[in-house]
């Protein structure tokens, strides 16, 4: 029974040690983030024209792709319509045949 208490104490100590390690790493990360923040901001300001150019080019490519996307939507709609109608063709044919038989066998109305 004493062994379980010893192992539990060791496990608790290791968990405490890991928590302290995580805390130290988090503090170091925060310090490095704060130290390098002005440098990162300066680089972002320096590269802002290139970022704006990238956004402009992406917008132009997006505008150029709109007709292709519309064509793809139309083709997908036709395919969806065909996928719905083709399995129903036998039922439509039977319905049309019944209608044609009723129409042919109906007596003309007396005038």
Q: 108 falls in which pLDDT band (50, 70, 90)? A: confident
pLDDT score recorded for residue 22: 97
Token pair for 59 = 């917008």
Structure tokens at 82: 């065909």
Distance CA 14, CA 27 (A): 20
- Cα gap 75→88, rounded to integer Å: 20
Q: For the whole model, what pTM was predicted?
A: 0.45
Which of these ranges, 22-31, 44-53, 80-89, 98-107, has the smallest mean pLDDT? 98-107
Domain ranges of the chain: 1-46, 53-111
Residue 104 has pLDDT above 90, yes or no: no
What average pLDDT does this structure show over 10-24? 95
Q: Rounded to an integer, what distance in angstroms lies between the CA atom of residue 46 and that of residue 93? A: 70
Residues in the chain: 111
């Amino acid at each position: 029974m004493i062994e379980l208490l010893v192992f539990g104490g060791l496990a608790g100590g290791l968990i405490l040690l890991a928590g302290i390690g995580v805390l130290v790493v988090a503090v170091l990360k925060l310090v490095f983030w704060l130290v390098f923040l002005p440098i990162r901001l300066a680089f972002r300001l320096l590269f802002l024209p290139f970022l704006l150019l990238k956004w402009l080019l992406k917008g132009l490519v997006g505008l150029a792709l709109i007709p292709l996307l519309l064509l793809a939507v139309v083709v997908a709609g036709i395919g969806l319509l065909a996928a719905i109608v083709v399995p129903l063709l036998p039922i439509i044919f039977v319905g049309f045949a019944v209608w044609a038989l009723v129409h042919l066998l109906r007596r003309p109305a007396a005038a």
